[in-house]
Structure formats: structure tokens, C-alpha cells
Chain A
């Protein structure tokens, strides 16, 4: 039997790697990928807690499915935004997209 803490620590590691990707990468698509990884680590947590703490219910899995739906919507809209920015600014580096900077 795998201890619950193993899943939680794995998910924390993935979350922090994703957070680093979001904070440190310059390419907007790489930032989006980091956000997807963070969502995935949250999904592992939901499934693990359901399995170990609320076994028998399916609430955790239902929430994971909603989370995946939201992540898919986020990826589609995010990539559309990045494409639109690339068309008008000819770059996907977030440091060069500073129209709103005073």
C-alpha cells in the first residue's frame, strides 16, 4: 500500500516545478504549459484524497473531471490569445508585451 503522503509530496513537487515554469520562463506558451502542470498536480491531490480519505464516494473524481474541462477551456483561450498577440506584436515573449506598462 502506498502511503497517502507519497502522492501529496509528488503533487507538491509537480506544483512547484510548474510554478517555477510560470514565474521564470519568457515564452508565453511555456508559461501556459507550467499552468497546465499546476492544474494536473491539483488533480492528483483530489484523486488521492478521494481514494484515502473519502473512499467509496466519487466526488473527487467528479471534481477532477470538471478541473480537466476548465483546463481544456483555459488552454484553448490562452493559445488563441497568444496567437493574437503574435499576429499583432510578432513575439510571444511576455517581456516584450508591455503595452499596459506605464
Chain B
């Protein structure tokens, strides 16, 4: 086993561990911290895939922004003390069965499939190529994405605004 494979197993294990902690931990705050572990490990996976820009964006946007937003959300909606509710709902055995079944099907299908792999992996597109692609062939989706972010920002402000008489 080569070094990169060992690093992949380490990062993948951390990601799966964080994800499992996220869905099972009772304290929602701990569960959000476990999610941050998973997101950081996924940034490491991007580095292994030679997509450094994605790794940076992952840390900036997911760990820096979305995780912080979720932590604030948890603190703002902390349930009133004494109303300890169960972590899982009544349908959790069914949910577990569905998830495990989907995982089994996906794993078998993904491992068995013959992907049309590129014969030799040339150097991954650089960050400069990525920027040129965003401004060239993908300029329209790029602009639409910025409109989407603006709409989401205004919508979030209006929805979360304190209702006044």
C-alpha cells in the first residue's frame, strides 16, 4: 500500500467517523463539531484529488461560513431546558434499513462498474484554467449563481426578520 493510499484511508476514516458522530451524537453542538471534522477531512480528499482550489473553497465556505451559520442556528434555537427530546424519530429503524440498503446497492454497483478511465492522467486543470472556464464557457451559470446568492440573502433576511406589529 502506497503512502497516498494510507493518507486516503486516514482521511476517509476521519470523514466517516465525523459523519457518524454528526448523525448519532445527542448534543446538537457536538454533532455540529463532528460535522466540521467530516468537512475538513473532505477538504483533504480534494487535495488528494489534486483539486487544491476546491480544498480551499471547502474550508472557506463550508467550515468557515456554513458550519458557523449552523452553530449560530443551534445556539439561537436551543430548546428550553427540561424538554429533553429524543434524538431519533419513530421511523429511525426504517431510515436505517433504507440507508444501509442503498449503501449496499451503491457499493456493489460502483465497484463492479467498468468506468471509461482516461488512459493516462494528465496534469489536472490549474486554478487559472478554472477561472478562465468560469469566465468563458460557464459565464452564464456563473452570473445566475450570483443572482441566486443575492436572492437567497434577501430571502433569508426577510424570512428571519423579527415580525413587528
Q: Could you tell me which A residues sit within 8 Å of B by CB distance?
A: 1-2, 4-10, 12-21, 23-27, 29-30, 32-34, 36-37, 40, 43-44, 47-48, 50-59, 61-62, 64-66, 68-77, 79-84, 86-87, 90-95
Contacts and interface: CB of A to CB of B under 8 A. Distances in A.
A14 B15 contact: yes
B35 A29 contact: no
Contact of B28 (A19, A20, A29, A66): A29
Contact of A47 (B2, B46, B96, B123): B46
Contacts of B61: 68, 71-72
Given A24-B96, A76-B152, A77-B155, A14 B16 contact: yes
A19 B98 contact: yes
Given A20-B96, A76-B152, A95-B89, A7 B125 contact: no
List the 5 shortest-distance A-B pairs measured between CB atoms, nearest first: A23-B95, A73-B152, A21-B23, A58-B125, A80-B160
B82 interface: no
A69 to B, nearest CB: 5
B159 A80 contact: yes
Contacts of B102: 15-16, 19
B50 A10 contact: no
Given A2-B48, A23-B95, A80-B160, 12 more contacts: A2-B4, A6-B8, A33-B22, A40-B39, A55-B118, A56-B123, A61-B54, A65-B134, A68-B58, A72-B66, A77-B152, A77-B159
Given A12-B103, A81-B159, A33 B70 contact: yes
A11 B155 CA distance: 31
Nearest to A73: B152
A53 B19 contact: no
Given A23-B98, A34-B23, A51-B124, A93 B159 contact: no
Given A37-B22, A76-B153, A23 B118 contact: no
26 contacts: A2-B48, A6-B5, A6-B12, A14-B19, A14-B38, A19-B95, A20-B95, A24-B91, A24-B96, A34-B22, A36-B70, A51-B49, A51-B51, A56-B125, A59-B133, A61-B125, A75-B69, A76-B152, A76-B156, A77-B152, A79-B69, A82-B77, A83-B76, A83-B160, A90-B80, A93-B79
